[in-house]
Structure 1
Amino acid sequence: MDIAFVSNVVFPFVKGGAEKRIHEIGTRLAANGHDVTVYGRHYWDGPQVMEYDGLTLYGVAPAKELYDDERRSITEAIDFSARLLPHLRRTADDHDVIVASLFPYFPVLAAKLTALGTDTPLVTTWHEVWLDYWDEYLGRLAPFGKAVEGLTAKTPHYPIAISSVTADRLTEISPSRDEIEIVPNGIDVDQIEATQPAEDGFDVLYAGRLIEHKNVDYLLEAFDRIAETDPNITLGIIGDGPERDALERQAQNLTHADRVTMLGFLEEYDDVLAHMRAADVFASPSTREGFGITFAEAMAADCTVIAAEHPESAASEVIDDAGFLASPTVDDVTDVLERALSGERPNTEPTARAQRYDWDAVAEQAEQCYQRAIDGNW
C-alpha cells in the first residue's frame, strides 16, 4: 500500500496523542514494506520533503502556533487546509489511501477535495465527537463548530473511531454504527515494562491535563479523607492546564497538604512512565474521555486503575474488569480509592489487559482497515 496521512502537526516535532498515533502506526506499516507519507506543517529542521524513521515527511506549510489562548486556532486550521490543497491535489492519485486525523476538521474537508476525481479513498480517525460540548468550548460560536463537525461527518469517507463511546456519539450526526470501525489508541508495552520505577514515587498518581472535566479536585478531597487514617500514603499530580492554579491552592489547603506533590508538566515521557511504574494506584475521575491512553499506560505499568463511570467516557471500555470504576463524586472516589489502597485487585490482571493496546496490535488492525477501504470491502 501507498498510504498518505494528513495531520497539521507531526510527531515527534510536536507531541500529542493524535500525531503520536500516526507516527507509531506509520513506522510499523513502513517496516512492513508499505510506503507512508505524512503531510503536515514543516516543524522539522531540514528540507520540505525528507525521510524520517522510515516515513516520508512532506511539509506543506510553515510551522505556526496551534493555539489561541486555550483554544485551537481556527485560522491556523483553515490556513493549513488551504496550503495542503495544491500539494495533495498533485499527489492524491499516487496514494492508495488517504488517512486524515479529524480535529480540527478543515484538513479532512481539504483532503476530500483533493481526492475527488480519483480512486483514492479517504479514511478518517475520530478521537472525539463533541456534539453539545461545543457550547462550552465556543460559547456563542458553538453553532459554527457543530456545523463543521456535522459537515465533516457527512462527507463521504470511511470512519474509524478510537472507542465504542466515540463511535456511538458519531452515529448521532451521521454514519450508521455498522459503518464505523473501531481501532483503539496504543501504547508501547515493552517500553513501559522496561522503565525503571521512580525512586521518589507516590502511592497514588494522576497524570493528565488539569481541566475541569478531569475532576482532579475530587481526587484531592478523596485523598485527604483517606490520609486522615493512613499516615504514610502520598499523592502525585502530573500535568498542567487552566485549572492548575486552583488545584494548587486546593492542595495547599488540605489537612494533609504535605503529602501531596504537584509536579506540573513533565517534558520527558519516560519520567511519567517511571512514576506510573512506582505507583500502586493510578486514579483519574475524568467524565469525558474519547479513549483515555493514560489508563492503558497505567495498566501496563501494573497500577490498580481507578476511573469514573460516565456515558461520555470510554474508560470503562478501556479498563473493563482490569480496574475499578467510581461514580464522579468525592464520596465514591474515596470509597474506591480506599479499597484499592487496601490491596484489593481487579478480576483481570492490568498487565494482561494492556497487551491488547500494544502498538503492534493496533497497527495490524489499522492496516486491515486501510486495505478494506482500498478494496471497497468496508
Structure 2
Amino acid sequence: MRIAFVSNVVYPFVTGGAEKRIHEIGTRLADNGHEVTVYGRHYWDGPAEITHEGMTLRAAAPSAELYDGDRRSITEALDFAARLVPTLRRHLRNDEHDVVVASVFPYFPVLSTKLTALGTETPLVTTWHEVWGDYWEEYLGRLGPFGKLAEGVTARTPQHPVAISGITADRLADLGPDRGDIEIVPNGIDTDQIRSAPLPDEGYDVLFAGRLIEHKNVDLLLEAFDAVAGGTDLTLGVIGDGPERDALEATAASLDHADRVEFLGFLEEYDDVLGHMRVADVFASPSTREGFGLTFAEAMAADCTVIAADHPDSAADEVLGNAGFLAEPTVESVRETLDRAVDGDRPPSDPVARADKFDWDRVATRALSVFRGATNDF
C-alpha cells in the first residue's frame, strides 16, 4: 500500500507524541513492504527529499519555529498549510498515494490536504489526538472562539476520522462525525525497549513523568506524597519541565519531607525516563486532561503500579483497565491510593500484560486495517 502522512513536524528531528506515532507506524509498515512518505517541514540536514529508516521524507516547507511564546504558532500552521498544497498536489495528481493520513492538530494542514485531494481518488484519514472544545478559551483567551471554530470546521470536513481513545472519539462525535464512523487506534509503546532500558544509578520509589503544566496536578501529588512519606524512607522523582516548575519546586521546598523529593528536569534520552520507570514501584500522575495517557502504558510495561486521575477529561481509565488505580483529583484521594500502592497493594490485572495491548506492532497492524478500509470506502 502507498501511504502518505502529513505532519508539519517530523520525528526524530522534532520530538513529540504525534510525530513519534507517525514514525513508529510508518517504519513498521515500510519494513513490511509498504511505500511510506511523510510530508513535513525541512528539519533534517541534506536535500528536501531523503530516505530515512525505510520511509521517504519530503519537505513541503522550510523549517520554522513552532511556538510563539508558550503557545503553538498559528502563523506557522497557516504557512505550512499553504506551502503543502503545491507539493502534495503534484504527487496526488500523479496517483502516487493510495491514502493520505493527516494529524490533528494543527487544523489548517488538514483542511489544505482535503482541498488538495479533491478531484483525486485518494481518501483523507485524520488522526485526532485531542478535541479541545471549551479549553480553547483558556488556551487562547479572547481568541478562543477562533480555535473552536477551526476545530469545528475541521471536524465537519469529509474524512475518515481516527481517534486515539474512546473519550476523544466521543468528543469528536459531538462536533459532527457520526460516532460509528470514528475508528479508534490507540497510541503505542515499544515494550521491548521499555523492558531493556538501562537502569539509573539512583532510582525513586514513586515517579512522575510529564510536562509540568497546571492540569497535570503535580502539586496534588507532592502534598499526597508528603502525607504518606512520614515514618518511611520513600522518595519521589519528578521528571519533566514546563511553566509550573518554579511554583512546584517552591511547593516541594515547603514540605515536611522536602529532602525526599527531587526534580530531574527534562531528560534528553528517552531510555533514561524508561529506566527510572523500571526501578520505581509506583508511577503517579493525577492529570485531569489526557487524550490518551502514554506514560501510563509505558509505566505498566515497566511493571509499575500506576495511579491516575478519575476524570471525565482523561482517557486514563481506558488505558489502565483493571491494571492500575484511579483516584479522585484531590490530595486526600491521591494520598489514600498512594498509601495503598506503596504498601504493596497491586491492581487486579497484570500491568505488564495490559501494556502488551499497546505495543507498536499491534497498533501498526490496526492502523493499516483502517487505511485499507478507507480506500475500500472511497
Query: Which of the five TM-score ranges fits, normalised by the shorter chain?
Result: over 0.9
The TM-score, its normalising length taken from structure 1, stands at 0.99
Q: Deviations over 1:90-124 (max 9, x none)?
A: 11232100000011101100100110000000000
1:136 aligns with 2:135: no
Tell me the amino acid that sits aligned with residue 106 of structure 1: F
Tell me the amino acid that sits aligned with residue 71 of structure 2: R
Q: Deviations over 1:29-80 (max 9, x none)?
A: 1111110000000000011001000000001111111001110000000001
Aligned to 1:112: 114
Tell me the amino acid that sits aligned with residue 18 of structure 2: A
Within 2, Cα distance between the matches of 1:129 and 1:229?
44
| SS of the residue 1:365 aligns to | helix
Q: 1:157: how far off?
A: 0.3
Q: Deviations over 1:205-262 (max 9, x none)?
A: 00000000000000000000111232x1000000011101100111111111000000
Aligned to 2:81: 81
- Tell me whether 190-199 or 60-69 shows the greater mean CA deviation: 190-199
Q: 1:5: how far off?
A: 0.1
Q: 1:198: how far off?
A: 1.8
| SS of the residue 1:171 aligns to | helix
Within 2, Cα distance between the matches of 1:104 and 1:64?
14
Tell me the amino acid that sits aligned with residue 54 of structure 1: G
Tell me the amino acid that sits aligned with residue 45 of structure 1: D
Kindly report the root-mean-square deviation, in angstroms, between the aligned alpha carbons of the 2 structures.
Answer: 0.7
Q: 1:176: how far off?
A: 1.2
Tell me the amino acid that sits aligned with residue 70 of structure 2: E
Aligned to 1:182: 184
Within 1, Cα distance between the matches of 2:176 and 2:201?
50
Aligned pairs for 1:188-199 (under 5 A) are 188-199=190-201
Q: Deviations over 1:311-356 (max 9, x none)?
A: 0100000001000000000000000000000000001110000000
- Percent of pairs with identical residues: 69
Within 2, Cα distance between the matches of 1:192 and 1:270?
8
Within 2, Cα distance between the matches of 1:296 and 1:197?
19
| SS of the residue 1:172 aligns to | helix
The answer to whether the 8 A contact 1:199-1:278 is kept is: no
Tell me the amino acid that sits aligned with residue 347 of structure 2: P
Aligned pairs for 1:7-22 (under 5 A) are 7-22=7-22
Within 1, Cα distance between the matches of 2:68 and 2:279?
36
Aligned to 2:211: 209
Within 1, Cα distance between the matches of 2:364 and 2:173?
24
Aligned pairs for 1:108-257 (under 5 A) are 108-230=110-232, 232-257=233-258
Aligned to 1:348: 349
The TM-score, its normalising length taken from structure 2, stands at 0.99
The answer to whether the 8 A contact 2:198-2:272 is kept is: no
Q: 1:197: how far off?
A: 2.5
Aligned pairs for 1:52-67 (under 5 A) are 52-67=52-67
Tell me the amino acid that sits aligned with residue 35 of structure 1: E
Aligned to 1:327: 328
The answer to whether the 8 A contact 1:198-1:277 is kept is: no
Within 1, Cα distance between the matches of 2:334 and 2:180?
35
Tell me the amino acid that sits aligned with residue 359 of structure 1: W
Q: 1:276: how far off?
A: 0.4
Tell me the amino acid that sits aligned with residue 357 of structure 1: F
The answer to whether the 8 A contact 1:324-1:346 is kept is: yes
Aligned to 1:316: 317
Tell me the amino acid that sits aligned with residue 330 of structure 1: V
Within 1, Cα distance between the matches of 2:159 and 2:175?
14
Tell me the amino acid that sits aligned with residue 83 of structure 1: R
Aligned to 1:290: 291
Q: 1:196: how far off?
A: 2.8
The answer to whether the 8 A contact 2:198-2:271 is kept is: no
